[in-house]
Structure 1
Amino acid sequence: MTERIHATYWLETGVDPQQAADVIAGEQSSGTFVALPNETPELKARAGARVERLAVLGHSDTPSLSGGVQAKRYTQCMLELSWPIENFGASLPNLMSTVAGNLFELRQVSGLRLKDLQLPASFAAAYPGPAFGIDGTRRLSGVTRGPLIGTIIKPSVGLSPQETAEQVKQLVAGGIDFIKDDELQGDGPHCPFDERVRAVMRVVNEHAERTGKKVMVAFNLTGELDQMKRRHDLVLAEGGTCVMAVLNSIGLVGLHELRRHSQVPIHAHRAGWGYLTRCEALGWDYAPWQKLWRLAGADHLHVNGLRNKFSEPDDSVIAAARAVLAPATDAAPMRAMPVFSSGQTGLQAAHTYAAIGCADLIHTAGGGIFGHPHGVAAGVEALREAWIAAMEGVPLERHAERSRALAGALEFWK
């Protein structure tokens, strides 16, 4: 039996829903705006997209998006389409063109959002997914239980390599598990990538020699493909255990090629995610989007954080984390590690743990660590103690009675 890709959409249209579904199916497979003599029934049966399900959800008097067919009533539906794998093979770039291409622009569409994506086993064979995932990250970081307690170098840009290394020195001395570059920190003349890596890794390696703990640092190597490979090799040569790339900047091919080259976990940043998702009537849900990037090789994936500084509600953050922790396909069980960030402190630990049911994550806090009145080490300890309380089911205030660092943090976290 032919393998098929299945995609589910929320659809709004001002025309008959079946007509809209047929137009989308044709546009994204064998059809065009007029019937062609060589688009035979046999060809359409072999290569055409198929409408698997169309369920009407409701109606409205106004369209969610402008520029489409004008109508007196608009219908909202759940639409499931499928395509034969033979249309494009096990190719993530061509898959994206098919399930998230011109269909968003069709006049018959006044709202369209990709909700789910089911892929056949052939994709797992072509794209093995993360090389390290949760288990590999724990092994390299030495954190066998609980979340990796992490932070981001701030200010985002403007620090020199030595100033960056001084921040890292405070953090590693304070017991941090994970540090990452900001996504805006690249290879500028004020803080060149090579100099930054060498300065930071001197600190990390010296600390590892003294204590046996090597802190994982995700260096942002985002750039041209040859640049990323060379930067990865420098990180590896200096003893680093992680690199970082901005997904929307390097694309699926960039990430997959980096995955093929990399010998350390890839920390995947989703900068730009808002323009793909913030309009509820357009774009992507996180679950299908992250599936492509995980198959391409992301070991860690950002999911925002509970009560974050952005516009994303908590239920969306939770759904994103659960998606990252679930197998990408039945044949690709390797899980990636969700990364919680954005306005985070220990106050979110218990709710995060309860929501996803595990601590297989990286919890990054900037101000929540650096702002501690007793210093950086106390900030790191407070966040870790908040997670211990969460996993033991102990209220923060009670746990703070035996942790001076946590007690001090509760004063400024609130």
Structure 2
Amino acid sequence: MAIDWYNEFVDLNYTPARDDLVVLFYFEPAAGIGREEAVGRIASESSTGTWTTLFTMPPRMKALQATAFEIDGNFVKIAYPVALWEEGNAVQLMSGIAGNIFGMKALKNLRLVDVSFPQAYLKHFKGPHFGNDGIRKMMKVAKRPLTGAVPKPKIGFTAKEHAEIGYETWMGGFDFVKDDENLTSVSFNRFDDRVKLMSKLRDKAEKETGETKSAFLNITADTETMKKRADLLAEYGWNYAMIDVVVAGTSSVMTMRDYCSDLGLAIHAHRAMHASFDRNPKHGITMQFLAKLMRLVGVSQIHSGTAVGKLTGSKKESTVIADVLREKKTKAVGTLLLDQDWGKIRNAFPVSSGGLHPGLVPPVLDIYGTELVLLVSGGIHGHPKGTRAGARATMQAIEAWQEGVTLEEKAKKAKELKGALDKWGHYKPK
């Protein structure tokens, strides 16, 4: 008599239905477990199966089970009937395709690489409120990257000091000033104080430059507190809120997407804690899927790496993540990405940040083009002439790339850029 039924979740002749979600996993079976048994266990545990055969089941169960249909080395594609998933509930989706399966003893390693969402699933989500064109219209920036900086060090300044650094950042030509991931409302820099002081200097900078200025102010907390902080941002005329989306959780991001949209606020998504589950290439969840998930639930932008700065991530990975966020359709890329048609879901910006300075601007733009948010923080505040000169040097580096000239050539007539190159050159932080 059969004890388990994992083999029933594997059919290498199966063709996914139009409405199936297809998930790409990397897997390594534990000792003594065959490949087909391993993928059968993944499909079973993430859908309608359990560890043993059952006495009776309704006939419809067969039509609801997931099917492992393609195995290529250590990669498997599994198709899931759309009926398994609650409409518009990305949290429930994650409980299935990224839930108990990561703890199965039959697997040595398991990594969720990507998911292809059918229109039948996508239609229940709103995606980003503005889309990239809407953000550009809001900021009145057309043909260059959007730019921003974090006051550095990332935490320690008073609200007044933070706002003053922000003013210098704006006056150097940058669009945004950004809180970093661990600055929320601390004893020496309360959120309410920071909002009020930043608002006053934003208005001053806009009047003096004639440009639109904004900030990514970090509202991350419990959901009710985030709502109150979003209300304050709207009251003071801001157009963005920042959330640490991984630590806050998918459910709170879903709630805040609608709440912020009603207030006219875009969401800047910081990915703090992502590397705890995406850095190991053999286990966890990929950054490209996290980016896809956040576009689905509706953030306007999310950090995606630089490939040339201080954080991990290759050029290919950064490009893939950028495409997932920006493109209406993406084609499969080897074992990194599946086909995806986003339908009516608007796009979002990739955010390049982490160890950048003016000398690294051209290689970042070679990877991303101009459709990104470029954050250069320590690389402006460390400029020999200060924050304002550092921001100007970065804007000059962007101009050089757009003009097709080297930074050294541009620096002959751009003293701020020359000062940056004299200090950092093209150094890549480690």
TM over 0.5: yes
Give the superposition deviation at 1:349: 2.2
Q: Residue type of the partner of 1:211?
A: T
CA RMSD of aligned residues (A): 1.7
Instruction: Find the counterpart in structure 2 of residue 114 from structure 1.
Output: 112
Where in structure 2 are the equivalents of 1:379-390 lying within 5 Å?
379-390=390-401
Confirm whether residue 355 of structure 1 aligns to residue 367 of structure 2: yes
Q: How does 1:327-338 map to 2 (within 5 A)?
A: 327=328, 329-338=341-350
Q: Is 1:49 the counterpart of 2:66 in the alignment? A: yes
Structure 1 CA distance for aligned equivalents of residues 343 and 314 of structure 2 = 32
Shift of 1:214: 2.6
Q: Which residue of 1 aligns with 2:137?
A: 139
Q: Could you tell me which residue of structure 2 aligns to residue 301 of structure 1?
A: 302
Secondary structure at the aligned position of 2:181 is classed as coil
Residue aligning to 1:325:
326
- The answer as to 2:421 corresponding to 1:410 is yes
Give the C-alpha shift of residue 277 in structure 1: 1.0
Report the CA distance between 1:332 and its aligned residue.
3.6
| Cα distance between partner residues in 2 of 1:190 and 1:260 | 31
Name the residue aligned to 1:88: 85
Tell me if structure 1 keeps the 8 A contact 2:383–2:390.
Answer: yes
* 2:315/2:367 contact within 8 Å kept: no
Cα contact 2:126–2:345 (8 A) shared by 1: no
In 1, are the aligned partners of 2:148 and 2:176 still within 8 Å (CA)?
yes
In the alignment, the residues of structure 2 paired with residue 189 and residue 408 of structure 1 have an alpha-carbon distance, to the nearest angstrom, of: 36
1:18-167 correspondence runs (5 A): 18-39=36-57, 42-56=59-73, 77-90=74-87, 91-167=89-165
Q: Deviations over 1:56-77 (max 9, x none)?
A: 2xxxxxxxxxxxxxxxxxxxx2
The one-character-per-residue Cα deviations of 1:178-209 (angstroms, maximum 9, x if unpaired) are: 11101111112221111110011111012223
Secondary structure at the counterpart of residue 249 of structure 1 = helix
Shift of 1:148: 1.4
* Residue 218 (structure 2) pairs with residue 220 (structure 1): yes
- For 1:320, give the aligned amino acid: I
Q: Distance in 1 between matches of 2:119 and 2:320?
A: 24
CA distance in 2, matches of 1:239, 1:223: 21
Q: Secondary structure at the match of 2:397?
A: helix
Residues 339-389 of structure 1: CA deviation (Å, up to 9, x unaligned): 111100122222222223x20111111121111122322211111111122
Cα 1:333–1:389 shift into 2, 3 Å: farther
Structure 2: gaps spanning 5 or more residues = 1-16, 329-339, 426-430
Alpha-carbon distance in 1 for matches of 2:134, 2:191: 25
| 1:336 shift after superposition | 0.6
1: CA distance, partners of 2:346 / 2:298 = 10
- Number of residue equivalences: 392
Distance in structure 2 (CA, Å) of the matches to 1:162 and 1:268: 25
AA of the residue aligned to 1:312:
G
Alpha-carbon distance between aligned partners in 2 of 1:348 and 1:126, rounded to the nearest angstrom: 40
Structure 1 gap segments, 5+ residues each? 57-76
What is the SS of the residue equivalent to 2:161? helix
* Residues in 2 aligned to 1:195 and 1:319: alpha-carbon distance in whole angstroms: 39
- 1:112 is paired with a residue whose SS is strand
CA distance in 2, matches of 1:211, 1:9: 50
Which of 339, 347, 350 aligns to 2:351? It is: 339
State the alpha-carbon separation in 2 of the partners of residues 234 and 240 from structure 1. 9
Contact 1:205 1:214 in 2 (8 A): no
Partner of 2:386: 375
Paired position in structure 1 for 2:7: none
